Amino acid sequence: MWLPPRFSIRSAVDVQSYAGIFETVRKSFQDSTDAEVDSGYGDADPDVDVAERHTRVETAKRWLWKRMSELELIHCSLYDEDDLALVVEGLQSTAQLLADLDSYMMESQELPQTKAGSCPSEWLFDCGALRIHEPGASESCQTGNDIEIGNQVWNAGVALARLIDKRVLFQPTPLSTILELGCGTALTAIVAAKCLPDTEIVASDWHPSILATATQNVVENNVAAQVSVCRLDWRNLVDFDWSSVGIVDALMAADVIYDVEHAALIPKVMRHIVDQHAAIRTKMIDIVILNRVRPQFEQAIETFENNMRLQGFVGSWVWADSIADVFGHDARLESRRYRLYRYKLQIETRVE
């Protein structure tokens, strides 16, 4: 059984040591995943158990996820340019290996499904207290795959919810329908429903496990009559029944830009929604995206911004904490790390 190195990152010296330790881990798992490939001549090692390899990969992903969290945290406290460069390099390398290991797991078997039914946590807003299940939040199961990411609450979603809760967003113009992309636990959709009682909220995501968690939270927070949860696959928009979501006046999303693929997909998805399901009258569709800026994903953020321009969207961004207190006692730690994007696209009158 593979055991991860006993190592954590707490200082600039640790960051310097991490490069060598990371390379050892990367090499061991390159060898591990390569070992499963059979050329077709029966030369795959029969003594290497596939389940054991998958267990090793999941263990490594949990270890890498913790190191990436530590690197993000220490990035906020360093000022030396060389040290900062090492942190960014470490973040980028770690994120890439996590993505490679995820790809390996998807090719060899389905990613493990996180089940709904966890103990809920309580979140306090001006609109009331919410009880949110987030089965992906357990530290023992965090490996960074998209299912776990979707099954837990992230600060960007909380920040977006607080901006809605404080009436900074989607006020005072009446809205018919808000469509959320990547709803995750549905925390933001639930707050939107409570703050905008005359607006239908459509909370969309892609994996059955995430949708089950979102549905459970919607039902338990008594907004099922106003919030519908639906599956929307960004890679297959053609099969979605757009007539099922009403007249979309606004799109919202939180923390959906954390790799280059998403940076390319999301602008296309938003343009498709605007084109296929715009309001019948002449209208400006409001698009709100709140995303944390992580050093390892700066290229993805830049790609997203460029692609939004290419799709014809016009907009700008501000730091979320510059317009409202969205982080409370964590304000100092999270300051100037979350961009609030606002985009518009002029919709011409449709003639039926």
Nearest Cα to 278, choosing from 313, 245, 316, 253? 245
For the ranges 38-52, 87-101, 135-149, 269-283, the one whose mean pLDDT is highest: 87-101
Quick: pLDDT tens for 282-337.
467 899 999 999 888 888 999 999 999 999 999 999 999 999 888 775 555 578 88
pLDDT of 240 above 90: no
Report the distance separating Cα 203 and Cα 194, nearest Å: 14
This prediction has a pTM of: 0.74
Helix (H, G, I), strand (E, B) or coil at 350: coil
Any residues with CB less than 8 A from the CB of 127 and at least 6 apart, and which? Answer: 165, 191, 194, 195
pLDDT for residue 40: 39
Given a cut of 70, whether residue 216 has pLDDT beyond it is yes
| H-only helix segments in the chain | 12-34, 50-75, 81-108, 146-150, 155-165, 187-195, 208-220, 260-276, 298-310, 331-334
Mean pLDDT of the chain: 81
Quick one: pLDDT at residue 45? 47
Tokens of 189: 């959709």
Q: pLDDT (tens digit, 9 = 90+) per residue, 92-119?
A: 888 888 878 877 766 655 444 444 446 7
CA distance 3 to 102: 19
- As a whole number, mean pLDDT of residues 195-199 equals 94
The DSSP secondary structure of 204-254, one letter per residue, reads EES-HHHHHHHHHHHHHTT-TTTEEEEE--TT--TTS-GGGG--EEEEEEE
d(CA 253, CA 294): 17
Handedness of CA 219, 225, 227, 230 (dihedral sign): positive
DSSP-based three-state secondary structure for 121: strand
pLDDT in tens, 26-63: 887 765 555 444 433 344 444 456 667 777 887 888 88
Averaged pLDDT, 218-247: 90
Residues 287, 315: contact at Cβ < 8 Å?
yes
pLDDT at 47: 46
Rounded Cα–Cα distance for residues 133 and 103 (Å): 27
The pLDDT of residue 183 is above 60: yes
Q: Which one is predicted more confidently, 140 or 244?
A: 244
Q: Which of 156-165, 198-207, 257-266, 330-339 has the lowest mean pLDDT?
A: 330-339
When pLDDT is averaged across residues 126-147 and rounded to a whole number, the result is 72
> What pLDDT is attached to residue 80?
84
- The per-residue pLDDT for 44 is 44
Write phi, then psi, for 312 (nearest 5 degrees). 95, 10
Band (pLDDT 50/70/90 cuts) for residue 222 is: very high
Amino acid, res. 20: G
